[in-house]
Structure 1
Amino acid sequence: MNIFKVRKWRKRGMGIFISLLIIFALTISVAISIVNSYKKYIYNLEDIPNDNYAIIVLGAGVRNDGTPSDILADRLETSLEVYKANIGSVFILSGDHGREEYNEVRSMKDYIMKDNIDEKIIFMDHAGFSTYDSMYRAKEIFKVDKAIIVTNEYHLPRALYIARKLGIEAYGVKSDKRGYQLMDSYKKREVLAQLKDFFYVNILKPEPKFLGDSIPVNNSDGRVTEDEK
């Protein structure tokens, strides 16, 4: 192959690479822009109309002793504020219980129960392994139509985007009460998570790892979810 053909193929290959790079960058930009447009559904407590909302609390880490991490404790505390404002009527605590020795939802329920909340209105979602799984299961298992989602501000646009795309009339209340360790890394990872869930919701539409029988929160007893997945 002479030098002119080599240059021609190199130039063509570089053109294809640049085109793919541009397409990828545009896809990321569009996905993130769409997801972040859902910030408009983040409300202060006093601005949310009273209704029969399910309060969905999204899990985070627990300590070795089984107690919630700071970031999770503040999500739970915020969910109690939502409940006491008479905006939500039931809790869905969604977290990771994929291993016997690691049980986020047990820790979450124990925290809520310390506030003398009726156990019947506390539903445990043991298979909330991701934000997508939590929202999908809220709709399909717990039959949620209206929800207040409680999590950190950086996380809320994606959670609201997924929920509303799945047919839940969702509003968000941010749980940030202090500074948190590793928050910068959480925010960086969130960019990739937004892109992933954009494709999940619009193209791939996978089912969660676990589904199961329906447990409608409007006419069920939350205690039946103690060992459910």
Structure 2
Amino acid sequence: MPAMWKILRRIGRGLLFAGGLLLLPRLWTTLLALAAIRSAEDAAPQPVAIVFGAGLYRDGSPTPVLRDRLATAAELYALGKVEKLLFSGDNRTVYYNEPEAMRRYALQLGVPAETIVLDYAGLRTYDTCYRARHIFQVESAILVTQRFHLPRALYLCSRLGIRAEGVPADRQYYRKSARLFWQLRET
């Protein structure tokens, strides 16, 4: 029996080590992001805010997470922190148009139509950052998304050549199960 415990201990240590290695990228991006996360009031003025998509309901209306991102972007515009808002999201089918839903909601919040730029191919965080830099020629921006997502968004945009600060769009309490899922997805 002692030999079996020795083997189990080695396996356990190996699993802990592997788990630690899997968490290193998340820890690294989080540490790098700490210096670049600001409140809307404290963010430095930038030419554009990049707003990441976050899903729509069946009726085409924004989810609460996306509404929070759009409200934060509208606040940044109202504070004079940005001149343009780049709404990036999924539009793979004619029945699902995240950027257009984002535009409609922002207009309801009082954002002028001429301020809004739509990116219809922001399927993933990487796509949004890549297209912002290489298609829309963004060099510096404020990234608008929830706090759990900001480290990865800041890291990817930075690696793709965008100088960015992040403003968290956490305007409400999200269910614990949703927050846990998001944290696991980001790891």
Q: Smaller-chain TM-score range?
A: 0.7 to 0.9
Q: What is the alpha-carbon distance in structure 2 between the residues aligned to residue 125 and residue 99 of structure 1?
A: 14
Matched, 1:68 2:47: no
Choose which of 121, 128, 136 in structure 2 pairs with 1:127.
121
* Secondary structure, aligned partner of 1:124: strand
In structure 1, the residue matched to 2:130 is 136
Partner SS state of residue 106, structure 2: helix
Choose from 72, 82, 88 the match for 2:82.
88
Larger radius of gyration: 1
Q: Match of 1:185?
A: 181
C-alpha RMSD of the superposition: 2.4
Q: Which residue of 1 aligns with 2:158?
A: 164
The aligned residue for residue 46 of structure 1 is 41
Q: Write the distance in 1 (CA, Å) between the matches of 2:70 and 2:106.
A: 7
Map 1:1-229 → 2, pairs under 5 A: 24-25=18-19, 27-37=21-31, 38-50=33-45, 52-181=46-175, 182-191=178-187
Q: Give the Cα separation in 2 of the matches to 1:24 and 1:134.
A: 30
Please list every run of 5 or more consecutive structure 2 residues that lacks an aligned counterpart in the other structure.
1-10
* Alpha-carbon shift at residue 39 of structure 1 (Å): 2.4
Shift of 1:138: 0.5
TM-score of the two chains, using structure 1 as the length reference: 0.70
Unaligned regions of 5+ residues in structure 1, if any?
1-16, 192-229
Cα distance between partner residues in 2 of 1:46 and 1:156: 17
Q: Provide Cα deviations, 1:38-93, integer angstroms capped at 9, x if missing partner.
A: 1221101222223x331111111111111111111111001000111111110100
Q: TM-score, normalised by structure 2?
A: 0.85
Q: Shift of the alpha carbon at 1:24?
A: 4.4
Measure, in 2, the Cα distance between the counterparts of 1:127 and 1:24.
35
Three-state SS of the structure 2 residue aligned to 1:65 is coil
Partner SS state of residue 41, structure 2: helix
Q: Return the offset for 1:116.
A: 3.8
Give the number of equivalent residue pairs.
Answer: 179
The answer (yes or no) to whether the contact 1:39–1:156 under 8 Å persists in 2 is no
Amino acid at match of 2:69: R
Q: CA deviation at 1:20?
A: 8.0
The code of the aligned residue for 1:31 comes to: P
Structure 1 stretches of at least 4 aligned residues deviating more than 3 Å after TM superposition: 17-27
